[in-house]
Every structure is written in C-alpha cells, then in structure tokens.
Amino acid sequence: MGLIFMGLSQAGSWGCFDEFNRIKIEVLSVVSTQVKICLDAIKRLKMNPANNMFVFDDDSIQMKVTSGYFITMNPGYAGRTELPENLKALFRSCAMVVPDIVLICENMLMAEGFEEAQDLSKKFMTLYSLAKSLLSQQIHYDWGLRAVKSVLR
C-alpha cells in the first residue's frame, strides 16, 4: 500500500480503493498512518507551494497537490471489518442511493434517437422486472444496472 500511495503522491493522481473494509484490521492501522502522512503533506503544500517534498517510509518524495485518495465500502456484509476511528476521520462519508433505472434507460434510448424513449423505458423495465421475478433466482444471473445497460446497448 505504501508504494501505491507514493506513486499517487508523486504523479498527482487519484486512487480509489474499492471495498476498503475487506482489508484486515492490522493492515488498516498501517494504512491510516500512511494516508495521514500524505494528507498532511498536501495541506503543507497548499500553505507553502515552494516546498513540495515530504518524507514517506524513509524516502524523500515529491508531493503534487492534485493527489486524492478515495475508498468505497459495503458495510454489513460478512467478512467486512469496521474501519478504525483514526482512518474514518481521514475520509468524508457519502451515502449512495439505488439508481432510477427507468430514467437511465430513458436517457440511453433518447441518446440513440428513440422518439418514444419515455414509454419504451417503462415497458423495458416492466419486462425486465417480470423476467427477474419469474426466471431462475440463481446467483449467476445478473439483473442489475450493468446488465440493463448491456442489453440496451
């Protein structure tokens, strides 16, 4: 993880770590220290743009202010750990909602030139919902947004 943070800091890139709460708690405590060092370096750089060097894991590296670190989590599932408080404090939380698939279908159909996109999107989702409820419930069948978009494409 340290090498990833060093690379992102030097390149000024963003890093998004998916399902961050699947990492073991021992590793998360080390990661929290690394993230804190990088965020402190960004704060110092904003206050003093001339000094863009900082020490990370005994190496002196350059920090670009455009660096960013993001995490996604799916709480409540088996095998997920609760983030330590010191790590939680380094990130802003944001709740997500279930997407309006009918509206997404309508926009995709309009983008392709369908004039009856609103009616077609409702019909499509009615058909799709029926298929989801009546066909096999096996886990290898995907009835989510990715599948809807694939069918519409």
CATH of the domain at 43: 3.40.50.300
Q: Which residue has the tokens 């670009």?
A: 64
* pLDDT > 70: percent of the chain: 97
Does a structural domain hold residue 65?
Answer: yes
Q: What pLDDT is attached to residue 88? A: 86
pTM here is 0.64
Q: What are phi and psi of 14, to 5 degrees?
A: -100, 145
* pLDDT for position 51: 84
Q: What is the pLDDT of residues 45-86, one digit of tens each?
A: 998 888 889 999 889 999 999 999 999 887 767 667 788 888
The pLDDT score that the predictor gives to residue 26 is 85
Q: What is the pLDDT of residue 121?
A: 95
Burial of 124 (C-beta count, 10 Å sphere; 0-12/13-18/19+): buried
Question: Is the residue at 96 inside a domain?
Answer: no
Residues 82 and 30 in one domain: yes
Same domain, 16 and 42: yes
Q: Domain of 68? A: 2-88
